[in-house]
A and B are shown apart, each in its own frame.
Chain A
Amino acid sequence: KAGVTQTPRYLIKTRGQQVTLSCSPISGHRSVSWYQQTPGQGLQFLFEYFSETQRNKGNFPGRFSGRQFSNSRSEMNVSTLELGDSALYLCASRGSYEQYFGPGTRLTVT
Chain B
Amino acid sequence: SQKIEQNSEALNIQEGKTATLTCNYTNYSPAYLQWYRQDPGRGPVFLLLIRENEKEKRKERLKVTFDTTLKQSLFHITASQPADSATYLCALVVSGTYKYIFGTGTRLKVLA
Contacts and interface: CB of A to CB of B under 8 A. Distances in A.
A92 B43 contact: yes
B34 A4 contact: no
A101 B103 contact: no
A42 to B, nearest CB: 4
A42 B100 CA distance: 13
B34 A98 contact: yes
Nearest to A55: B98
Q: Among B43, B44, B103, which residue has the most Cβ atoms of chain A within 10 A? A: B43
A104 B43 CA distance: 6
A33 B100 CA distance: 9
Contacts, number: 54
Nearest to B32: A97
B79 interface: no
A79 to B, nearest CB: 24
Interface residues of B, number: 21
Contacts of B93: 97
B46 A99 contact: yes
A31 B104 CA distance: 23
A103 B42 contact: yes
A56 B34 contact: no
B10 interface: no
Contact of B102 (A42, A94, A98, A102): A42
Interface of A: 4, 31, 33, 35, 41-45, 48, 50, 55-56, 90, 92, 94, 97-104
